[in-house]
Amino acid sequence: MTDINAAMLSRGRDRLTDAGFAGNVDYVQANAERLPFAANSFDCITIGFGLRNVTDKAAALAAMTRTLRPGGQLLVLEFSQPLLPPLRALYDAYSFHVLPLLGKLVARDAGSYRYLAESIRMHPPQETLLEMLQASGLTGCRYHNLSAGIVAVHRGYKA
């Protein structure tokens, strides 16, 4: 498990320990844009709801591709763009108005929930992210929309 943020890495370790998975997981504080692993190290790399927080997404995808073994796959689970225009408007209203209000009331932190909505809005849509996976050198790239496109899973393989 990697994360650039030591506190988040620690939280992930705690959650895996609580779930009984701590014994077979290594924890590495690392920047996704410059992964500190040898080339051809992993059969599968996953990133869930994290790529949108990476500054240089192309560099991160290239680093992940470099560290995959031939035949290995990259899976990216991320918020995306709703498919239907009416849903898009409703989702934006929820994301930019309701979510920060809930964050303020429940967590006393409207700013983090506002950032969440903004980071989702700035993240590339499905087709653009697909092209980015292909540009990083992955093959057989495709994506699958979940929740009418609010979330998408992208997949690519190292040749």
Give dist(CA 152, CA 82) in Å, integer.
10
Amino acid 98: pLDDT = 94
Give dist(CA 42, CA 72) in Å, integer.
7
Which domains are present in the chain? Answer: 31-80+123-158 (3.40.50.150), 83-122 (no CATH)
Amino acid 154: pLDDT = 98
pTM: 0.93
Residue 45: strand pairing partners: 74
Pairing mode, if any, of strands 138-146 and 42-48? unpaired
* pLDDT, tens digit, 9 for 90 and up, residues 129-156: 999 999 999 999 999 999 999 999 999 9
Query: Percent of the chain having pLDDT more than 70?
Result: 100
Average pLDDT for 48-74: 97
